[in-house]
């Protein structure tokens, strides 16, 4: 099992799980078990009406898919190379000085946090404490999508709970205020879900653009991309060819094509601006690899903490 021992990433991964569990507990306790109960339940051990049962089952399914996608994205090798040397047919192969001179395919990049080269590295995401590469990009996208849908569904359930509370009052003036615990917890969850929808939808859009252009985030900054065909061909190269497996959070069966070229977007391939962007993505650029390799031979550096200001 792939595990990245980065303290900052581990803390953010645990925080993600805590937020999911807190949201689930609040909605089940203060919405579903407050407003969708019945005196004659279908199952004695769950005092919920049929509608309540349906809402509970759907909600648990969404949260479970989000949580499992996250766990699999955290624990899946994002795309370390199975070949240490270049095929003989390849002329002018690149080698990574930070990986003891191992061959570095054209679409691979060295991650400073993972301390290895990742094929089709998109970026290093501290929220999943892992790189997003070819082998776990599907899991990362599923995590984003299920989290966004779960957050929207949570907001709808909170709105339904508020509506039920208002509807249950005899008159507006006599309406007692809801319990403070319920109000505080539901308010916190609403803010959390609004933020999640805004944050995550932005990243979903980036991932869709990445598939459309066949260009990872790192390649976008390097002004390169992979061979472009159709959106669906790009999509199946990440999600696998078997359509019925696409919604399920397990790694796709992919045969990485290490010889895939990184094609230039335009004439100017590199600028100092790009070098700055690389630092924020946690990758080691071509020029900086040599310097960093020298530094690493002098002293064993502590694991560099990724400080990207974005959610990733």
Which residues are catalytically annotated?
125
Beta carbon nearer to Zn ion, 98 or 200 = 98
Q: How far is the CB of 30 from Zn ion (least distance, A)?
A: 39
Q: How far is Cα of residue 12 from the mean position of the Cα atoms in its chain?
A: 12
Give the C-alpha separation, 282 to 122, whole Å.
Answer: 10
- Is 243 in a helix, a strand, or coil? helix
CB neighbourhood size of 6 (10 A): 21
Residue 15, both tokens? 């925080």
110 near Zn ion, judged by CB under 5 A = yes
Beta carbon nearer to Zn ion, 131 or 151 = 131
The answer to whether residues 68 and 149 touch, using CB atoms and an 8 Å cutoff, is no
Q: How far is the CB of 72 from Zn ion (least distance, A)?
A: 16
186 near Zn ion, judged by CB under 5 A = no
99 near Zn ion, judged by CB under 5 A = yes
31 near Zn ion, judged by CB under 5 A = no
73 near Zn ion, judged by CB under 5 A = no
Q: How far is the CB of 280 from Zn ion (least distance, A)?
A: 13
Query: Of residues 20, 31, 86, 98, which one binds Zn ion by CB under 5 A?
Result: 98
Give the C-alpha separation, 32 to 38, whole Å.
Answer: 11
Q: How far is the CB of 267 from Zn ion (least distance, A)?
A: 27
- What's the chain's length in residues? 312
- Segment near Zn ion (CB under 5 A); pick from 14-22, 30-38, 60-68, 95-103: 95-103
Beta carbon nearer to Zn ion, 139 or 151 = 139
128 near Zn ion, judged by CB under 5 A = no
Per-residue HEC secondary structure of 89-128 comes to: CCCCCEEEHHHCCEEECCCEEEECCCCEEEECCCEEECCC
Q: Point out which residues pair with 109 in neighbouring strands.
A: 118
123 near Zn ion, judged by CB under 5 A = no
113 near Zn ion, judged by CB under 5 A = yes
Q: How far is the CB of 110 from Zn ion (least distance, A)?
A: 3
117 near Zn ion, judged by CB under 5 A = yes
Q: Point out which residues pair with 123 in neighbouring strands.
A: 132
Beta carbon nearer to Zn ion, 110 or 225 = 110
Residue 188, both tokens? 């916190």
- Segment near Zn ion (CB under 5 A); pick from 31-39, 40-48, 130-138, 238-246: 130-138
Task: Identify the DSSP state of 284.
Answer: E
Give the C-alpha separation, 139 to 248, whole Å.
Answer: 9
CB neighbourhood size of 108 (10 A): 28
281 near Zn ion, judged by CB under 5 A = no
Q: State the residues that interact with Zn ion by CB under 5 A.
A: 96, 98-99, 110-111, 113-114, 117, 124, 131
């Amino acid at each position: 099992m792939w595990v990245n021992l980065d303290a900052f990433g581990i803390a953010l991964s645990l925080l993600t799980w805590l937020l999911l569990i807190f949201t689930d507990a609040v909605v089940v306790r203060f919405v579903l078990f407050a407003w969708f109960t019945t005196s004659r339940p279908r199952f004695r051990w769950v005092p919920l009406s049929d509608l309540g049962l349906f809402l509970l089952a759907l909600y648990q399914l969404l949260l479970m898919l989000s949580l499992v996608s996250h766990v699999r994205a955290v624990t899946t090798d994002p795309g370390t190379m199975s070949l240490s040397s270049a095929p003989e047919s390849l002329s002018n192969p690149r080698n990574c000085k930070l990986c003891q001179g191992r061959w570095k395919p054209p679409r691979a990049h060295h991650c400073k946090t993972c301390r290895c080269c990742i094929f089709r590295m998109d970026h290093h995401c501290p929220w999943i404490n892992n790189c997003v590469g070819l082998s776990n990009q599907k899991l990362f996208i599923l995590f984003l999508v299920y989290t966004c849908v779960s957050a929207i569904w949570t907001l709808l359930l909170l709105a339904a709970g508020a509506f039920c509370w208002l509807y249950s009052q005899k008159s507006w003036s006599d309406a007692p205020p809801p319990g403070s615990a319920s109000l505080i917890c539901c308010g916190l969850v609403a803010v959390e879900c609004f933020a999640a929808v805004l944050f995550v939808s932005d990243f979903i859009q980036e991932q869709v653009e990445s598939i459309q252009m066949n260009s990872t985030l790192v390649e976008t900054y390097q002004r390169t991309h992979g061979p472009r065909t159709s959106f669906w061909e790009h999509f199946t190269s990440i999600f696998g060819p078997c359509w019925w497996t696409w919604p399920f959070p397990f790694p796709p069966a992919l045969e990485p094509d290490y010889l895939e070229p990184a094609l230039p977007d335009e004439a100017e391939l590199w600028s100092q601006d790009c070098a700055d962007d690389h630092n924020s993505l946690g990758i080691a650029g071509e020029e900086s690899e040599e310097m960093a390799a020298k530094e690493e031979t002098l002293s064993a550096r502590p694991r560099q903490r990724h400080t990207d200001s974005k959610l990733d």
